[in-house]
Structure formats: structure tokens, C-alpha cells
Amino acid sequence: MKSQRGAITRTLGLLLLLGATQAPVWAQQDTPPILPQGDGPKPAAAGMVLGPNQSRDSGPTVPSGPVNPYSGEIKEAGTGLPFFGTSSTPLRWGDFSIGRFEYVGLHSDSNYSAAATGTATDISMFRAGFIFDHYFWKSRLVLQYLPQLAIVDGQVHANASTNNTFNTGSKFVITPRLSVTLQNAFLQTKQNQLVPENYLATGFETGAVSQNNFLTSNGNYLSNTVSAAFQYDLTPRTSFSVTPSFGYANTTSTSGTAQYSVDGQVYQMSMSLSHALTAHRQVGISESFEYLRQTSGIQSYARYSTTAVSYSEQIAPFWWITGNVGTAHEINSNQPGAGNWSFSGGATLVGSLSRILGVALAYSRGTSFNNYVSTRLSDRIDASLALKLSSRMAWTNGFGYFREAGTDPRASGKYAMSQVAYQFYGNFSLFTAFAHTFQNSNTQQLPSGTQNTVEFGLNWRPPANPGHR
């Protein structure tokens, strides 16, 4: 392993040398110079596949360049995708705007081993997206709030009976080379927050994907994550970033017979160096340190030190690939003895074969709280296929699989979903979806069993403007 670390260190030095020798120093310029095109992306056959909320009359602005995993972009509340603002919404009053309205009807049939019989739940939900987006001194402040009102068994629950999603993001341009992005994401759920189409949220117009939680919790779940991304441009092609973050999660039982409460914290520090080989291709190297602990219930902790190299490329106007691979050194209180080495990495492929067909694949291996508290590494793979049935109708199918790494007992889960959306007028769409999920749990925080969910509804959402990256 020492030889691997040495090779990675030499690679890091080589990247710094390349950045210093292949491009002039960026001396206090407001905008970076144009990078050499190199092997530019090949033209797409017929443009990208349009989603149900994409305007048919105005073609999307093609973003240029690879997806940068180290950029610290402000995220969109409710999806985890990059936030591009609300320039197309007519509901705007200065910096304040409404980005979407939505009615969702959910019918869920669940059969969990802890319950004597299966249960059926019907929920009617109204949601809206409120956004405050303000620019000042080359900096930006974004506040996002997704309030919702639920009707369950004829009773109205304001804010879906303690379901809350609140995100803040601020980007400060300190100097032409140095920027700082601060973010905070708060989530509080009694009923699971995400509906099937957001299990794997995909931006076909930007190459971005987000693998969101799909496991069903066994009670209330609350999480808050705060991070700060410091990015410094060494040259127009090479940038260095440092990102400290802290995450907190809590799960509590809603059952009168099996009471529990579990707290967890994640402390993380990551450092990365990225270098643009061309305007469409980027390489990087990163080092991250994580400390996870569970401070109630069965107390445990884990420390991870991960080194990885990454690659990202825009291979066509609407095709992107990303990948990272490395090693993680783990010390876990549940595994006495010397630390263990394991694989760490991930990859994504997002693109449109034509205006008819879109594909998204995502794999990740790392640490995260997936609606429950755990100190284990986990594997997650998702796939999505979007088909444009007509100029107004889209059909999306997807599946996903999650499991904790290591030996049994361990938590695992999988899902399959199918959705049809029809854009009947302007930015109004009707949609319906079906999802089947199965999960097996080794913790009281998650039930074991199956759940079938039927979703239907109406939404209004103007298209995003991905040209503003």
C-alpha cells in the first residue's frame, strides 16, 4: 500500500507540474481564457431526449465542458441536482420566485415482517417550491423551501405532519481565483420524502445524476448537512479545493411498543486537485478523511481515509461520463484488530441517443446515511431509461440496488419503477408511476419486507436553464 500511496503522490506532483507548464498564470482576470478544444465532443445525432418539463418550443442550451465533481455546486432542494435558478418562471417578484406547484396522490401497500398483516396507506399531497436567489458583489445567496400539505384519512396535516426540506447555498467570489461555496441541507420526514421519479434524479441536459434515498424508515428521520467548499484556481486549467463538512442524522420510533432513538454524526474533510486536459476532458486526484459515529442505540464508530483518482469527459453535446477509483483504509469499532483496506469509487454515464431515448447509469461505493444511521461502507447502483413516446409524452423506467459492504447481517434494498408523464399544456404535466421496493434490515431503524407504491398527480414546473452553469 505504501507503493500505491507513493504512486499517487507522484501523480499529484505531475498534475501540478502540468498545470504550471501548460498554461500561463491567471493574473487577476475576471474570466478565464478559452481552453484549447483538443478532441471536442462529437455531434449528437438529433439532440437530447426531452423530459416532461422541458419546453418543446425552445431548445435547451447545451452546456460545454465535463462534469466537475469538486466544484461544490449549489444543489436543488428535493432532487440533489445542480441548481440553475428560476429564470424561466413567470412567478417572480424580484429575488423571490415560485419554481413549481405539484399535487401528488400516493397509494402504498406494504408487507413488513414486523407487522402481523399488510397495511395500505393513501396520501394526497400538495407541494410548492419557494426560492430566494440574490446576487451581490459577484456572489450569490440561494434559499430554497419545499413546504407541503398532506391529507391522510380525511385529516389535513400542515407541512405533511413535520415533513420539511430546507436548503441554503451561498457562493462568495473572494478574488478572481478564490471562491467559497457554503451549503446547508435540512430534511425532516415522517412519511418518506421522495417519490419514485426522484430515486435516481437525472439531468439529461447537464450530465448530472443524484442517487437519492429510497429505503423506508421505521419512524421519523431527520438529517442536516453543512459544508464549505474552498476552491482556488492555480492556473486556468488547474484548481485546488478543500471541503470540510458535518452531517447529523436522527431516527426515532413512531411505534408505542418498540421505542428507540438513534443519533449519528459524520465529520469529513476532503482535498482535491483537478486539471483540465482539454475543454471537454478533466482529470483529478483527491484525499478524504471521514469519522462516523453512532452515539445512541448500539454505539459504534468508524474512520475512513480514502485516496482516489478521477476522470470526467463530455464525449458528445449530450453525453457525459465520470469515474473515480481508489482505496479506503477503514478502522471500525465493530471489527477489532488492524484496519482494513477496501475499494472505493464510482462512475456515471448520462446521455441521449436521440431525441427519443435517454440513458443514465450510476454506481457509488462509500459512506452515507440512507434514511438510517450506519457506520458501514455501502454499494449503490442505479439505472434509468427514458423514452419519448410522442412530442408530449415520456416514459421512464428504472431500477436500483443498495447493500452494506462486509458480511451479514447487513442492510440491503432494491427497487424497480416505471413512470409516464404527459405534458398537456405549457409547463403543466400529468404523471403516474409505479414502484416496487424490497429491503432487508439488520437494524431497528429499517423494517424488512416489500412495498408497492402507486403515484399520480399534476405538476407545473418551468424548464431549467442549464446554460447558466
Q: Is residue 192 within 8 Å of residue 162, measured between CB atoms?
A: no
Confidence category of residue 10, pLDDT binned at 50, 70, 90: very low
pTM of the model: 0.83
The set of residues, in sequence order, having a beta carbon less than 8 Å from that of 172 and lying 6+ positions away, is: 139, 179, 180, 181, 182
User: What residue type is 94 in one-letter code?
Assistant: G
Mean pLDDT value across residues 241-268: 85
Mean pLDDT of 108-116: 76
Q: Does residue 5 sit in helix, strand or coil?
A: helix
Q: Looking at this protein, which amino acid is placed at residue 33? A: P
pLDDT greater than 80 at residue 326: yes
Please give the residue that has the higher pLDDT: either 100 or 38: 100
Mean pLDDT of the chain: 81
Of the candidates 331, 254, 251, which has an alpha carbon nearest to the alpha carbon of residue 297?
A: 251
* The pLDDT of residue 337: 56
Cell numbers at residue 313, please?
469527459
Cell of 108: 402504498
According to DSSP, the residues that pair with 249 across neighbouring strands are 223, 264
The topology under which CATH files domain 64-460 is: Porin (2.40.160)
Q: Which of 307, 355, 317, 356 lies closest to 206, judged by CA?
A: 317
Task: Provide the 3-class DSSP secondary structure of residue 22.
Answer: helix
- Which residues make beta-bridge pairs with 70? none
Q: Which amino acid is at 83?
A: F
- Extract the C-alpha cell encoding 262: 438513534
| C-alpha atoms less than 13 angstroms from C-alpha of 194 in its C-beta half-sphere | 24
Measuring CA to CA, how many Å separate 452 from each of 97, 331, 435? 35, 38, 6
Amino acid at 431: F
pLDDT at 258: 64
Cis-peptide, bond into residue 244, ω within 30° of zero: no
- Is 333 a residue whose pLDDT tops 80? no
Cβ neighbours of 302 (radius 10 Å): 21
The alpha carbon of 269 is separated from its chain's Cα centroid by a whole number of angstroms, namely: 19
Give the position of cell 429499517.
446
> For 87-110, how does the pLDDT look when each residue is reduced to its tens digit (9 = 90+)?
788 899 999 999 999 999 988 888
Cell match 414486523: residue?
114
Task: Tell me the C-alpha distance between 251 and 233, whole Å.
Answer: 40
The CB density around residue 468, as the number of other CB atoms within 10 Å, is 10
